[in-house]
Amino acid sequence: MVHIGIIIGSTRPGRRGADVAHWVLDQASKRHDATFEIIDLVDHPLPHLDEAMPPRLVQYEREHTRQWSAHISRFDGFVIVTPEYNHAPPAVLKNALDFLFHEWANKAVGFVGYGAVGGARAVEQLRLVAGELQLADVQAQVALSLYTDFEAFATLTPQPAQEAAVETLLDQVVAWSEALAPLREAAREPVAAGASR
């Protein structure tokens, strides 16, 4: 059974991302084809990328990088929950992605955006990043509007159709995560060898 991480992509005080991620987890918990776990970037405080060697070489010098690597390696796929800041995803999320390479590769990812336009422009940028990291981004996407899916722009109150959108997203993330398992297994040895240095 595949294990899917739900990444809260913001660490900003007053963020809505934790509520959104836990709503996704509530929907996911009804399923029996995968296990799901929240990954909160608040719990993984990474400085601005401070590794001298490119992550593809897996020559990590910093303990925080080794811990992040070990944590992300546990998952077979991801749902990334992201707000949109100035037409882009949060810098803390991009930084967390940039720290690693092999640990992301050959895994599926789906996106849940929220904001004035549902985080759509942030998600479009993240799809470009996912391609470079060899994360297989699924077609389905959830776009939560601050105008219709939040009460007073603060309290998450998703429209009924959003539950179906999450279900479709999870269907695709789980299916692709299962399908990519042989590629992950073939690539596992280089990561294990490099991360132990």
Q: Could you state, in order of their start, the residue ranges of all structural domains in the chain? A: 2-195
- Tokens in use for 96? 């967390």
pLDDT, one tens digit per residue, over 146-172 is: 999 999 999 999 999 999 999 999 999
CA 81 – CA 119 distance, rounded (Å): 9
pLDDT, one tens digit per residue, over 32-61 is: 999 999 999 999 999 999 999 999 999 999
User: Does the structure show a pLDDT above 70 at 118?
Assistant: yes
pLDDT, one tens digit per residue, over 166-196 is: 999 999 999 999 999 999 999 876 555 555 5
User: Does the structure show a pLDDT above 70 at 8?
Assistant: yes
Architecture category of domain 2-195 in CATH:
3-Layer(aba) Sandwich (3.40)
